[in-house]
Amino acid sequence: MMQAKIALITVLTDDTPLMLRFYRDVLGFQPQGEVDEANPGYVEFAHEGVRFSLCSRSIMQQATGDPSFDVPRGGQALELAFPCDSYDDVDATYAALVAQGATPVKGPSLMPWGQRTAFFADPEGNIHEIFADPPA
């Protein structure tokens, strides 16, 4: 019986080498095991908790036989949220991510629920966030 538990999150991509460089060099995720950087196809990162990976859309099309993996991607279907230690860390991290090549989406701002949050996009346009909870 299936467990109601997420074991792996995979970001599907059309350009795995580009996305590998971004998630490794800008966001700091380290690949687990050997990776063919010229044509990685699939990359799993060393990550505490839920497993995290990148996978080419073509590999998923081959694995499933589902033609929807050949359809150009549109809109947002996934968001990753990265915690920061403080409001100041959100501001500094956002500036650093944008300086390293992340696409700015919305700069740091205070949300109605008290978190300080900023949004950026990876090279394929997936919008992610960084946030800090309100001070205690």
Q: Whole-angstrom Cα distance, residue 43 to residue 33?
A: 9
Residues in Cβ contact with 16 at an 8 Å cutoff, skipping those fewer than 6 apart: 39, 40, 41, 42, 43, 54, 55, 56
Q: What is the pLDDT of residue 38?
A: 78
Reference 89, options 26, 50, 135; nearest CA is 135
Predicted confidence at residue 74, as pLDDT, reads: 85
% of the chain beyond a pLDDT of 70: 100
Spans of the chain, pLDDT less than 50: none
pTM for the whole structure: 0.90
Q: What is the pLDDT of residue 111?
A: 96
Determine how many CB atoms are found less than 10 A away from the CB of residue 97.
19
Encode pLDDT of 36-72 as tens digits. 887 789 999 999 999 999 999 999 999 999 999 988 8
What residue ranges define each of the domains in the chain, with the CATH number in brackets? Answer: 8-66 (3.10.180.10), 81-132 (3.10.180.10)
pLDDT for 36 equals 86
Within 13 Å and on the Cβ side, how many CA atoms surround 53?
16
